Structure formats: C-alpha cells, structure tokens
Amino acid sequence: MAKTKTTYFCQSCGYESPKWLGKCPSCSQWNTFVEEIIEKANPSVPDWRQPTNGSTSMQRANKAIPVSAIAYDEEPRIPTQDKELNRVLGGGIVPGSLVLIGGEPGIGKSTLMLQIALNMPHLKVLYVSGEESERQIKMRAERIAPAPQPPEGGAVRNRQSPIGNKSEIEHSTSDISLPLEGRVAEAFILCETSTQNIFKQIEQLQPDLVVIDSIQTLHSAHIESTPGSVSQVRECTAELLRFAKESGTPVFLIGHITKDGMIAGPKILEHMVDTVLQFEGDRHHVYRILRAVKNRFGAASELGIYEMLGAGLREVSNPSEILLSQRDEPLSGITISATLEGMRPMMIETQALVSDSPYGTPQRSATGFDTRRMNMLLAVLEKRCGFRLGAKDVFLNITGGIRVEDPAIDLGLAAAIISSHEDMPIPFKTCFAGELGLSGEIRAVNRIEQRIAEAQKLGFEQIFISKYNLPQGGQDKKRIDLSRYDISVKTVANIEEVFSLLFG
C-alpha cells in the first residue's frame, strides 16, 4: 500500500510544515496554513510517458558534463499568427517552453488561447479544458472563427479515445478544423482534469502544442488533495514541466489570480515556468494589454495590445492611434510624450489638471503614473522655475488605461502641468521625450532615434529632446544624426529653456 502523511502548506507562498503554524516563517502571513494529505506515489504508477519495451528498470542517473561537451543546435522558434504574442514572447514560441498566462476573470485568457490554438497552421494543438464542456468551447470557436458548413452536416467530429476499455470512463477528444488562408489548422479539444488521463491522450495524439485551461483545475493521482491546493498545483506543474522539457513540446498554462492581483497558488509556480504573462485591462473597456513579467527567452518588458470585439481579440498594430485622442481645438494641460514599452515606441497622451484647492489641503492624484515621481516633478517646478504649486490640486492621467514607468515622459508631464497652471495650450503636433533631473536639467533617454521616427511617422512637426542625446565635443559620433529626419528636433538643456520656447 502507498504510504500517506499529513502536512501543512502556506496558501500564500507554499511553505511546508509538519504542524500548524499561526504565522508563516517564510512570507510572514497569518492564518494561511491548511492541512493537506499527501500520498507517496507507488513506483508502478505510470508517469506521463511509459517505457516502450514494457521494462520497469530504473532510469539511468544523469552525470555532470562540461559545457563544451553539450551538443546544441539552435532550434527555430514557432511563429504564431498573432504578432502581438510573438513580440511579447520574444519572437515566437520556444520549443519545450512552459508559459503561464494570468489575468482577472472574464479578461479574455481562454479566448486568447483558443484563438491561438485555432490559428496554428500545420500544427496539431491540444486544448485541455477543465472548466468548460466541448459544446461551450465549440460555441466560442465558431464565434472567434466561423467554420464553413460541411457538405454532410456536422462541423465537429467527436471521436472516442482508443485509450482504455469499456469498463473505464472514456474521454472524447473533439477535432475542430477551421480554414486559415487556404491552410488547415487542427485543434483538438479535451475536457479532462486528471493529469494521468491527459498524458495518455498526449501519448496517443502526439500534439505540437498543448494548452491547459486552467492549472488550478488539474489534479494528480499522486497527491490526495483537492484541485487548486498548493500541493496539487505544484505537482501538476512539475509533471507538465517534465513533459515539456523531455519531449520538446511547448505548453501554455492559464492561471487564476487572487483578489490582490497575484497568480493563485504558491509563488514557486512562477519560478518553475519559463515565461509569465499578465493579461491586464478593464472588463468594461475594449482594450487589453498582454505584458511579460518574466521571460527566459526574451525581454521581460515587452507589451502587446489587443481590442476585444464580438469576434474575439484583434491585434492593435499601431497603439499610438488608440492612445491619442482626436481634438478639434487646442486644450490646456494636454501633451504628447514618446515612450518605449520593450522595443516598441509609442506616443501617449499625458493630461494634467491644476486648480485651486477649495479645502485648504491640496490633493495629489495620478492615474497610470507613480505618485511619488509626480511629487518630485512638482517640487522641481516650484524650486527651479518659481511656479507656486504648493496650494494647488494636481491631477495627472495617462490616457488609454496603461501604466507608464518610462522616465522619458517627465518632460511631457512637466509641460502639461505648467500648461494647465497657466491655462495656455501646447501647440499642435508637438511631442516630448526627456527625463527631468532634480536640478531642472533635461537628461538624455535611450533609443531616442526610435522615438523621433515614431513621432515623424505619426505626423508630428516638432519634438523636444535633451541636447545630451546629440554628440558633444570630444565625444564619439555614435548617438544621433538629425539630418535623416524631416521633423523639427528641439534640443534643450534645462526646464527653463523648454518653457521659454513654449510660452515665451
């Protein structure tokens, strides 16, 4: 008989203890320990892959080898039809990678993954769902990509799995074939929560990509605890990780989040996977943001933007167009700043409102921007430029519902604050890209050429940048060549020079 034992796990960080504790010694959270029963697995229990010859001999232990002796052939990434996902992943899906996607309920995680599964040409994709039935998934699949009417009726062909016998529960796998630019993309749907049955289907189907929706619904027979518990999430993820690394098949995991916005389950879940993607946005608005939080195969600062429509998620190839509002007349307190999200330049609209404080205590509020950095900008404007903002209410807003941490928008925000304070609008077709220092100087920002090129492409007439982005005397000529641009580039050294050029 298999041995069983009882242990306690912290629901916040996954810390294991043989007895109940009031305070977790790892994350210092109170009353987070729950009791779980762990079953020591029998060695005869099959893992995700059975030996082909039926032998039960022990697996040979790995040996340490030098790095120079490791055979390495660079494998090409698997491109998807979704350019935004390719950008966030770093150029495509890496074979054998384990990707975790988290987000709020109803944000569109399942829609995004089903859309990817239905649009992978010449690849066999297995979509495993533990939350929906086959008919529910088929309804969404037809809404995302309507299939043509078959000649004899019935677009979905339900097939019984050859795995198992009549005495066992048979799990059906539905094959959804949809047209894609003259090519056929195969997507197989499996409604199952047991990892052992999922791996049996994987052995039979041999898919090129596996999508799990969601990791909190899976359970392994090796652990006697409820699905979604710390031990179950950790064990199921470990089994999928071994499968992905040993078979070279990429696996996407959809994860739930808690009310604090963190991915549900132990923190070790994010450490085990190769890539962590966060799907953000307001369910009541149409735009969604896919942000890379962790990426072992690319930059962890990339950003993808989608628009939620009735037919699924649409890629937004030019986010500057949705982040800039159309105005018929100039308004005070509004500026355009050139920012970077990963390798993508974007033009965003920064808004400021400065008014007298009616209650004596001034209010400071920022949406999409760090409030502490806003207070620093206000202190610089009051100290270096002489603007009396201490008794004023100041409100900042980054349009589009995104959060920006790029310091290059400091100059645009400072100009917006003074524009609202003086009630003087900024001229049309003017944008800014510069970091504001504590002494009032305009510091240089990175990749300024991409920002200038994006502003020129969108039709701006002038852009304010730091003069330190240009080659200085005695330095090498490696920074920027203004002769290649048609846009007027205004180089400034300090904040006083900016205001003299804007407002006279």
Residue set of the binding site for ATP: 103-110
Residues 126, 174 contacting (CB under 8 angstroms): no
- Distances from the Cα of 422 to the Cα of 331, 382, 399, 419, 428, angstroms: 12, 14, 22, 5, 17
CA angle 122–126–131, rounded 5-degree value: 145
* Helix residue ranges per DSSP H, 125-183: 134-144
Q: Which two tokens stand for residue 155?
A: 């677009």
Cα–Cα distance for residue pair 416/403, rounded to 1 Å: 17
Q: Which two tokens stand for residue 110?
A: 């399942």
What would the DSSP string read from start to end of 300-361?
TT-EEEEEEETTEEEE-S-HHHHHS---SS--TTEEEEEEEETTEEEEEEEEEEEEE-TTSS
H or E element in which residue 449 lies:
helix 448-457
- Residue 304's DSSP bridge partners are 290
Residues 282, 289 contacting (CB under 8 angstroms): no
Annotated binding residues: 103-110
Residues 503, 418 contacting (CB under 8 angstroms): yes
Cα torsion 401, 405, 408, 411: sign: positive
Cα–Cα distance for residue pair 229/378, rounded to 1 Å: 47
Cα–Cα distance for residue pair 58/13, rounded to 1 Å: 34
CA angle 234–235–241, rounded 5-degree value: 90
Q: Which two tokens stand for residue 282?
A: 């307001």
What HEC string does 360-409 produce?
CCCCEEEECCCHHHHHHHHHHHHHHCCCCCCCEEEEEEEHHHCCCCCHHH
* Helix residue ranges per DSSP H, 57-152: 83-89, 109-118, 134-144
H or E element in which residue 174 lies:
strand 172-180
* Helix residue ranges per DSSP H, 105-149: 109-118, 134-144
Residues 6+ apart with CB under 8 A from 120: 80, 81, 185, 187, 208, 209
